[in-house]
Chain A
Amino acid sequence: MVQIAWRELVSRRRATIGLILGVGVVLLVFFAIEGLWAGVARTLSVQDTEALVVLPKDSIGLSGSLMPMSLKTTLRGIGAEVVAPQLLTTRQIRSGEPVLLRGIALDNGSVGLARIVAFEMTAGSPLERGDRDKIMLGAEVARSKGLAPGDPFRVLGKTFIVKGIFATGGISDSEVWLDLGEAQRLVRSQGFASMFSVIGPPGLGERIAKRLDVDVVKEKEVWESLTGAIASLDGVMKVASVIVAAAAVLGVMNTIFTVVHQRRREIAILRSMGFGRSSVLTYVLSQSLLIALGGFVIALAAAALLLRLMRMEAVGMTITPVLTEAGILRGLGLTLVIGVLAGLYPALRAARLNLAQTLRGE
């Protein structure tokens, strides 16, 4: 019966192509929204390291928080072997062109840096102690601004030289790293840091949290908590993308009804020759499922192109939409739902045809 269904679709190729494209558009909307939020989640992530971050109590995100530098001594006193203050802030390099600045203590050079923030150099070399006039650019910043090692980069009235370009696969790809002292001077936050990265013996985090009125977490958790603040937006958009699938169901159902109506005599003949109701159900459902799966393939191919065009910048972060395996599987699930819902009712109608009346042509 699946083969007959296939032939039916081929014989009506115009309508079939129209339907496949219609379902494809609907699934493309779904993939665009899935990809957008998967991209946001990937942007708001960092690679895990052995370091913990110390933040003001109940603070959200890293930029905007301020803690006195004197805390460094206190943290050492509690048992931290490495205490690396960092200053995070967002500043515009030109009107409407913000970048994320991360001032990092370079006391232990690039080796010390790698212990607190995971990164890989893709060009040039990392910052070392004493690099006050140099910066490291995240891969996304370098790409969007077209910068390479050796190029000048002007921010808040000072011109730096790009020393290296690094990649992390997360939020830091949208960051510009510079010496902590320079960052503090540029944003007039001398004596303050946004957070302290600490490394020490097991139980250090608990000891710090017990002694001081602060939060001690993994940096990864801080960024991930921000996705919670936009969860409702994500949820409503995803619901809207599923609702729009109802339009695909109605569109495909419309055509399948017509097919069933036009082929009712042939269906009745098949039934009278001994084909069961389940065969008729298979014949009709196969058509709607084949159309839906065709739309899925088209949408997947189109999404691969569309998501590249959807790369965007917001508040200094570069968001690159991505299609995850989970997103593709959810899309496939939605495709099957569209196929089944669109074909089920016409299939049941076809299976319940009154054979005698239909064959008499009534």
Chain B
Amino acid sequence: MNPFRFWHIAWNDLRYGRWRALLMIAGVGVVVAVFFTLSSIAGGLGSVVSATPASERNLVLIDKGATDYCQGQIPEAIVETLRRYPGVARVVPMLHTALRWKGQMVLIRAIEPEAYGEMAGLRIVEGKLSQRANSVIAGEQLARQNGWQVGDTLEIGGQELKLAGIFQAGGTLNSELWTSLEDGQRLLSRGDSYSAIVIQATPDADVRTLKNRLAGSTVLARETDIGTEPEVYETMNRSFGQVTRVMNAISALALIAIAFGVYNVVGMTVAEKSHEIAVLKSIGLSANQVIGIFVQEGLIQAGLGFAVGLAAGVAALAYLNATSAVSFLSVPLTLSLTPQTALVGGALTATLTLASAWLAARRVAAMPVAEVLRGA
């Protein structure tokens, strides 16, 4: 039996009650758009750390048990030890923390800008790399957000720092302020220790072997945790795992409203069309075929609503991204609609619509044809 045999009846019925259908489509659209927005925020939050460019060929040392780059004090002596390992091309120590600037949070990375910049794909778009003391370079997004120009003097942490350049790099790096290691150690009172060390493997080295060799060192294993950049970021992201799950659950909860909307609209239509339903049944349509017509009505409305919601959701995300309107700890979240989210949203919408439309339409089966036609 072709369930879509009478789709034209469903379509014509919707055209007849177009205002009701339009309200329904708009309602579903709003819910779907909100679902996509909230899911994308959850996704953006869940990958806030991994939005930093990461390479499988880079290893990261962080303090034992540390959950972020801001914590920990890795002794300076470890840098020289690492440089002597075979297979190590470059060792880049860094300090990373957040400071307050005019009431907002600014992420500061103290680093050897040239070395790390090359690894992170940094490109200077204005000014130059800071070479002198008490100077900084700012990520393009951060500079734009605060209206900073090259040559500006920023007072941060009680020190005056000159903005030498503006850079472009991937992901969250665009929202950071970079300074030299020496300036950073003074600014952050870190003495001669680092909060993380990035190690770049030589092109011919096997990164896993190098990692195992470093992890096998008694000193390094006692004081630090070692992993590839993606592994370390993933561990940091896990800290937000439960928050992400809760936010996804809230967004999915919103979709349940669609079920009640469809139930009501289909239920009202069935109640209003009892005479027409009786006629259809009297000329030979089975109860299931008539139920199918109303389920199709629900599916068409929900499908169109989903399309509207998808478009509105994509537009809302584009706007939020363009204006960097959503940030977490000063890192603008990258909100993107993944195919998986779209599929999950579509599948949930279809399932809820099918179930609720069928529940609302099933009273067709019990409708007494003769009595309805008599107008009793």
Other A-B pairs, 5, CB within 8 Å; known A56-B189, A257-B20, A313-B242? A29-B253, A58-B101, A91-B65, A243-B33, A251-B24
1/0 contact trace for B318-354 toward A, CB 8 Å?
0010000111111001000000000000000000000
Which residues on the A side are within 8 Å of B70 (C-beta)? 63-64
Which residues on the B side are within 8 Å of A91 (C-beta)? 64-67, 71
3 A-B pairs closest in CB distance? A22-B260, A57-B158, A250-B27
1/0 contact trace for B21-57 toward A, CB 8 Å?
0011011101101100110010001000000000000
Q: How far is the CB of B190 from chain A (nearest CB, A)?
A: 6
1/0 contact trace for A88-110 toward B, CB 8 Å?
01111101101000000000000
Q: How far is the CB of A261 from chain B (nearest CB, A)?
A: 9
Asked if A111 is at the interface of the complex by the 8 Å CB criterion, the answer is: no
Which residues on the B side are within 8 Å of A98 (C-beta)? 67, 239
- Which residue in chain B gives the minimum CB-CB distance to A56? B189
Asked if B176 is at the interface of the complex by the 8 Å CB criterion, the answer is: no
A15–B261 alpha-carbon span in the complex (Å): 10
Q: A90-B67, A237-B38, A244-B257 are in contact. Are A36 and B31 (CB under 8 A)?
A: no
1/0 contact trace for B2-33 toward A, CB 8 Å?
00000000000000000110011011101101
Which residues on the B side are within 8 Å of A305 (C-beta)? none
A279–B272 alpha-carbon span in the complex (Å): 26
Asked if B99 is at the interface of the complex by the 8 Å CB criterion, the answer is: yes
Which residues on the B side are within 8 Å of A156 (C-beta)? 64-65
- Which residue in chain A gives the minimum CB-CB distance to B356? A18
Asked if B243 is at the interface of the complex by the 8 Å CB criterion, the answer is: yes
Which residues on the A side are within 8 Å of B65 (C-beta)? 91-93, 155-156
A229–B103 alpha-carbon span in the complex (Å): 9
A232 pairs with B260, CB closer than 8 A: no
A188–B65 alpha-carbon span in the complex (Å): 12
- Which residue in chain A gives the minimum CB-CB distance to B156? A58
List CB contacts (< 8 Å) of A251-274 with chain B.
251, 253-255, 257-258, 262
Asked if A32 is at the interface of the complex by the 8 Å CB criterion, the answer is: yes
Asked if B254 is at the interface of the complex by the 8 Å CB criterion, the answer is: yes
- Which residue in chain A gives the minimum CB-CB distance to B242? A312
Which residues on the B side are within 8 Å of A68 (C-beta)? 189
A66 pairs with B189, CB closer than 8 A: yes
A314 pairs with B260, CB closer than 8 A: no
Q: How far is the CB of A232 from chain B (nearest CB, A)?
A: 5
A240 pairs with B37, CB closer than 8 A: yes
A213 pairs with B99, CB closer than 8 A: no
A-B contacts, CB under 8 A, total: 207
Which residues on the B side are within 8 Å of A96 (C-beta)? 235, 238-239, 241
B20 pairs with A258, CB closer than 8 A: yes
Number of interface residues of B (CB under 8 A): 73
A66 pairs with B238, CB closer than 8 A: no
Asked if B115 is at the interface of the complex by the 8 Å CB criterion, the answer is: no
Asked if A25 is at the interface of the complex by the 8 Å CB criterion, the answer is: yes
A90–B62 alpha-carbon span in the complex (Å): 13
Asked if A181 is at the interface of the complex by the 8 Å CB criterion, the answer is: no
List CB contacts (< 8 Å) of B222-253 with chain A.
223, 235, 238-243, 245-247, 249-250, 253
A15–B270 alpha-carbon span in the complex (Å): 12
Q: How far is the CB of B100 from chain A (nearest CB, A)?
A: 4
Q: Quick one: which of B38, B75, B105, B261 contacts A247, CB cutoff 8 A?
A: B261
Which residues on the A side are within 8 Å of B189 (C-beta)? 56, 66-68, 192
B325 pairs with A188, CB closer than 8 A: no
B98 pairs with A61, CB closer than 8 A: yes
- Which residue in chain B gives the minimum CB-CB distance to A252? B264
Asked if A139 is at the interface of the complex by the 8 Å CB criterion, the answer is: no
Q: How far is the CB of B65 from chain A (nearest CB, A)?
A: 4
B158 pairs with A188, CB closer than 8 A: no
Q: A56-B157, A57-B157 are in contact. Are A248 and B257 (CB under 8 A)?
A: yes
Asked if B188 is at the interface of the complex by the 8 Å CB criterion, the answer is: yes
Asked if A41 is at the interface of the complex by the 8 Å CB criterion, the answer is: no
A89–B72 alpha-carbon span in the complex (Å): 8
Q: How far is the CB of B109 from chain A (nearest CB, A)?
A: 13
Q: A96-B235, A313-B242 are in contact. Are A237 and B41 (CB under 8 A)?
A: yes
A246–B33 alpha-carbon span in the complex (Å): 12
Q: A248-B257, A250-B23, A250-B27 are in contact. Are A240 and B34 (CB under 8 A)?
A: yes
A254–B260 alpha-carbon span in the complex (Å): 12
A325–B31 alpha-carbon span in the complex (Å): 27
8 contacts between A and B (CB under 8 A): A59-B100, A95-B235, A228-B103, A229-B104, A236-B41, A236-B320, A240-B38, A254-B265
